[in-house]
Structure 1
Amino acid sequence: MTTTRSRAERVAQARATEAQLTADGIDGVVFGWVDNAGLTRVKSVPLAQLEHAAEYGVGAVPCFDVSLVDDSFTTAPSSTGPMGDLRLVPDLDRLTPLAAQPGWAWAPADRYAQDGTPHPGCQRGFARRVTEAVERRGLSVRAGIEIEWVVADAAGDPATAGPGFGMTRFIEHSDYLRDVLRALTKQGLAVLQLHPEYAAGQFEVSVAAEGPVEAADTTMLVRHTIRAVSARHGLRVSYSPVFTEGSLGNGGHLHLSLWRQGRNLGHGGPGRHGLHPDAEQFLAGVLAELPALLALGAPSAASYLRLVPSRFAGAYRCWGLENREAALRLIAGSTAGQANAEFKCFDATANPYLEIGGVLAAGLAGLDAGLPLPPETRSDPAALGSAERLPASLSETTDAYEKSALLRQALDPELYEAVLAVRRAEAELFATHTDADVIEAVRWRY
C-alpha cells in the first residue's frame, strides 16, 4: 500500500524524479486532495519547486475542512476560520504525467501540520490508518470505484441521447472514447471496461482493483483525466448524482474483496455463494452500519434524488447475488479473482478516502463482533414489504452518522466533527430547494 516517507526520503525521491520529468516535458506538478464536501482541491508548483515542496510541503488553508459544495464555509469545534496553515505533501509514489494535460504531472497529497505531524483531518491519512488496521489482521483488501459521468455540449445539454448501452452513442463519440482510453492507458491504468450507460449522455469506465488508498487515488486521477480529455473535445463533464430530473443518475459503486494469504475470501468458502466466514462477518458489519456510512458515500443532497427504488441505485439495506436493487450486490465471478462485493448506494460526490476508510472500519467491526450476514434478498426488494429503505434524505443519513459510535471512534475526532458540520450545513443549505433546484446547484460542482 501507499506509505508515508521521511522528509529525507521525499527529497531524494524528488531529485531522482525531476530529471525524468524534465525529459518528459513536464513544467509543473499539481497536488490534489479532496475536501469533506467531496470537491477536489488543488495547488501546483513549477517543476523547479518540486524538491522544496516534497521536503516542506505547500501551504493549504485548513478552512477547507469545513467548506461546502457552494464554496461557502461552516464551522466545527476544531475549525479556526482564517487562522492557521497546513502543508500539502505530495505522494511522489503516485506521481503521474497527465496525458491529456501536456506539461503537467499530478500527485495526491497528504496534509500535515506545520510542525510535520499528520493533520488529524486528513482524509487520505484516515484511509491509510484503517487499511493498516486491516493488514494487522493478516488480511488485505482489493478495491475499485466505477466512474460514471454525463458528457454535455457547450450549452450544458447531454451530448447524445442514443440508447443506453447503444452502438449509436458509441459511434457518435468513438473518437472521444478512444482518447479517454488512450490517456488512461498512457498513465499506467489498467482499463477493464468502457461503455455507454443508461442515461442520456452517460458513460462508464472501470479500472483494475488495487489497495484501498491506491484505489481512491486512482479514482481521482481517472476523473481528472476524463474531464481533461472532454475539455479538449469541447465537451463538459458532470459526475453529479443526478444530471436530469427523473432520470437514472451517476453512481460511484465501490467494489471490494477481502483476501488472506493470496486467497479471495469471497470465493470457495463454506458459506452462501462461496463466502468464507470472515467475508460474511465483514459484509455484515458494513450492512449494519450502512445508513451512517451514506454520510461518507452518498454525502450530497443530490445523492438522495438518485438513491430511489427501481433505478439500480441500491436504495434498500439488503444483499443478494447479482441483485442490482440491493445496496450490496454480491458478484460471484467466473474465477476466484473476480468475486467481490459491490456497494451500489454510493456516488461520486463522496470523498473516496472517507468512503473506503469508513467501509473498512465497519467491516472490521463486523469481524470483531462476529456478526452474522442476514438472509439474502432473492428478488426486487421494492416488491417486499419487509425490505428496509436506506435514508431518503441528507438530513436522515446525517442523523444516522451522528448516532454512529463506530464512525465516531474510527475517524479522528477532528475529522468526525468536520464531516458532521459539513453534512448539517449542506442539509440546511438545500432544505427549501426543489429537486430541480438541487440538481441545478450541484450539476457542475462535481
Structure 2
Amino acid sequence: MDSTEREHAGSQARQHAARLTAKDIHGVALTWVDNAGVTRVKAVPTARLPQAAQWGVGMSPVFDVYLSDDSAVTSPHIGGPVGDLRLVPDLDRLTCLAAQPGWAWAPVDRYEQDGTPYAACQRQFARRMTARAAETGLEFRMGFETEWTVTAHPTEQRGPHVPHAAEGPAYGMTRVVGLSDYVRDLFEALAVQDVDVLQIHPEYTAGQFEVSVAPADPVRAADLVVLVRETVRAVSHRHGLSASFAPVVTAGPVGNGAHLHLSLWRDGKNLCRAGDGPHGMTRTCESFLAGALEELPALLAVGAPLPASYLRLRPNLWAGAYQCWGVENREAALRFIPGPPLGPDAANAELKCFDAAANPYLLVGAVIAAGLHGIDRELTLPEPVPGNPADTGTTPRLPSSLPAALDHFARSELLRAELGGALFEALLAVRRGEAELARGRSPRELAEALRNRY
C-alpha cells in the first residue's frame, strides 16, 4: 500500500467507524484462515478501525505453520518466532454481525511491514488466480455448501457418545420442528447480514444441517463461507448449542463436507450451457473441468486437509471418493448439473470431495489454477460414469489417506508454481505435521480431537 492508498483507506474507515458507533457496535473482528483451515482473529475497537485500515494490525507469520491443535511446525520460508505481518481489513466486506450484538466483521489481506503483499497470503492467492482468469475473459460464480453438526452441552462431550441436539431422519421435518427457533434465527441473522440464502435443510447424520448461499465471485465466495460458518457458530451459542464443521464429528457416520459449486462465464454467457461439448457445456468449460478432474488427487491435499478428512471421504456416502465425473451423479467427485431446461443460468459443476477443514481461499484459487491449466492444454473429459462408480470395478479411487494425497501434491509442479514457494512449502509442512499428529490415533480419537476445533 502506498501513501495515497493508505489515506483513502483511512478516510473510508473513519466513515465506517462513525456508522458502526452510531449502531452501538464497539468491536470489529478481523479474520484470516490459516493453512490448517482454522479461522484466526485479531479484534480492534471500532474507534481503531481507521488505524487498522491504514497501517494494519500486527500478526506473526508463524501461524501459517500452525496445526489444528495449535502446535507448530516449520518450513523453508516460514516458521519460528521472528517476523511480523500487517492484517489489513477489506472494508468492502465490513459486516455488522447480527448474532453478535455490538460486533462487526471484516476479512483481511496480509502484507509485509513495508506494505508489499505477503507472498503466503491465501486470500491474495485467490484474488491473483481470479485476475489471471479475467485476463482471458473468464469470470466465475462460486458457492460452498456449508454442512455442520449441532450438538448440546459441548463441555460434556467426552467419549464416543456425542449428545446431538436434534435426532430424526435425514431431510426429515422432525429435525426442523425440533430446532425451529434455531433455524429461524439462522435465516434472520444471515438475511440481516445480506447473505442470500438459497436453502437450509437437515442432512444425513443426526443433528446435521446444510445451508447453501447464492454464488459470488471466488474471493467473495470464500469470504461468505467464513461469514456463514461464524454466524452459524454464534447463533448456535446463543441457543446453548455447539456447531462443529469438522470433517467427522463421530467416527462412522456421514461427515461434514464443503462441496464447491462453480460456473464459468464470458460476456454474460454461462459456459456450462449452450455449447457443443459433453451435455451442452462449451469446450472451454469442458477443458476447465478436465483440468480440475485431472489435478484432483493433488487438490485433495488442499481441500481434504486432515487425516480425519479421509474418514468422511468414503464410497457410497455421496462424498465424491472416485476420480470421475457424471451428470447429476452424487457419487462422482465431479458432478455436472445441467440445470432445468428453462433455467440455463443454473448450470454448474460441483466438486464433492472437499470438507470444511480446508482454507476456502486456497481451495478456490487452486481449483482455478488447475482449470486454467486444463484450458491451456485443451483437455477433454473422459466418458462420464452413469451409475455408482463403486460398481464399475475400473473407476479410480481418489487418495484414501492424507499421506497418499500429499504424494500427489508434492509432485504437482502446477500447484508449486501457482502457489509460490513460500505458500506451497508451508502447506506441505502443515499437512505432513497433521499426518504425524494423527499417527497411532484411532478414528474415534481423531474425531474427538477435532470436534471443537472447527
When the two structures are superposed, what TM-score results if normalisation uses the length of structure 1? Answer: 0.98
Q: CA deviation at 1:218?
A: 0.4
Partner deviation per Cα, 1:159-202 (whole Å, 9 max, x = no partner): 11111100111100010000001000000010000111110000
Q: Secondary structure at the match of 1:146?
A: strand
Q: Distance in 1 between matches of 2:228 and 2:7?
A: 30
Q: Distance in 2 between matches of 1:82 and 1:69?
A: 19
Aligned to 1:322: 328
Q: CA deviation at 1:296?
A: 0.8
Q: Distance in 1 between matches of 2:79 and 2:351?
A: 35
Q: Which residue type is aligned with residue 259 of structure 2?
A: H
Segments of 4+ in structure 1 off by > 6 A?
none
Q: Secondary structure at the match of 2:226?
A: helix
Kept after mapping to 1: 8 A contact 2:73/2:79: no
Q: Distance in 1 between matches of 2:421 and 2:17?
A: 38
Q: Distance in 2 between matches of 1:91 and 1:275?
A: 35
Kept after mapping to 1: 8 A contact 2:65/2:79: no
Q: Does 1:109 align with 2:117?
A: no
Q: Secondary structure at the match of 2:236?
A: helix
Matching residue within 383, 388, 393 for 1:380: 388
Matching residue within 440, 448, 452 for 1:444: 452
Partner deviation per Cα, 1:34-86 (whole Å, 9 max, x = no partner): 00000000000001110000000000011001000000000100124111100
Q: CA deviation at 1:431?
A: 1.7
Q: Distance in 2 between matches of 1:356 and 1:180?
A: 25
Matching residue within 412, 424, 430 for 2:438: 430
Q: Distance in 2 between matches of 1:337 and 1:278?
A: 16
Q: CA deviation at 1:6?
A: 2.2
Q: Secondary structure at the match of 1:160?
A: coil
Q: CA deviation at 1:442?
A: 1.2
Matching residue within 209, 224, 239 for 1:218: 224
Q: Distance in 1 between matches of 2:78 and 2:352?
A: 33
Partner deviation per Cα, 1:373-396 (whole Å, 9 max, x = no partner): 111110100001111000000101
Q: Does 1:121 align with 2:120?
A: yes
Q: Distance in 1 between matches of 2:132 and 2:333?
A: 25
Q: Distance in 2 between matches of 1:339 and 1:79?
A: 41
Q: Which residue type is aligned with residue 21 of structure 1?
A: L
Q: Does 1:391 align with 2:390?
A: no
Q: Does 1:360 align with 2:368?
A: yes
Q: Secondary structure at the match of 1:6?
A: helix
Q: Secondary structure at the match of 2:118?
A: coil
Aligned to 1:68: 67
Q: Does 1:18 align with 2:24?
A: no
Q: Distance in 2 between matches of 1:266 and 1:16?
A: 41
Kept after mapping to 1: 8 A contact 2:166/2:207: yes
5 Å matches for 1:233-244?
233-244=239-250
Q: CA deviation at 1:354?
A: 0.4
Aligned to 1:173: 179
149-158 vs 97-106, greater mean Cα deviation:
149-158
Aligned-CA RMSD value = 0.8
Aligned to 1:293: 299
5 Å matches for 1:122-201?
122-154=121-153, 155-156=156-157, 157-201=163-207
Aligned to 1:95: 94
Q: Does 1:230 align with 2:229?
A: no
Q: Which residue type is aligned with residue 243 of structure 2?
A: V
Q: Distance in 1 between matches of 2:178 and 2:445?
A: 31
Q: Distance in 2 between matches of 1:86 and 1:147?
A: 30
Q: Does 1:266 align with 2:272?
A: yes
Q: CA deviation at 1:8?
A: 2.0
Aligned to 2:160: none
Partner deviation per Cα, 1:245-300 (whole Å, 9 max, x = no partner): 21011100000000000000001111221100000000000001000001111101
Matching residue within 195, 203, 213 for 2:209: 203
Kept after mapping to 1: 8 A contact 2:127/2:219: yes
Q: Distance in 2 between matches of 1:391 and 1:314?
A: 11
Q: Distance in 2 between matches of 1:336 and 1:60?
A: 45
Q: Distance in 2 between matches of 1:364 and 1:294?
A: 18
Q: Distance in 2 between matches of 1:436 and 1:80?
A: 31
Partner deviation per Cα, 1:287-335 (whole Å, 9 max, x = no partner): 0100000111110111000000000100000000000000000011111
Q: Which residue type is aligned with residue 97 of structure 2?
A: L
5 Å matches for 1:338-349?
338-349=346-357
123-132 vs 5-14, greater mean Cα deviation:
5-14
Kept after mapping to 1: 8 A contact 2:142/2:262: yes
Q: CA deviation at 1:25?
A: 1.3
Q: Distance in 2 between matches of 1:72 and 1:6?
A: 36
When the two structures are superposed, what TM-score results if normalisation uses the length of structure 2? Answer: 0.96
5 Å matches for 1:32-71?
32-71=31-70
Q: CA deviation at 1:337?
A: 1.3
240-249 vs 284-293, greater mean Cα deviation:
240-249
Q: Secondary structure at the match of 2:286?
A: helix
18-27 vs 32-41, greater mean Cα deviation:
18-27
Q: Which residue type is aligned with residue 369 of structure 1?
A: R
Q: CA deviation at 1:423?
A: 0.4
Q: Which residue type is aligned with residue 423 of structure 1?
A: R
434-443 vs 102-111, greater mean Cα deviation:
434-443
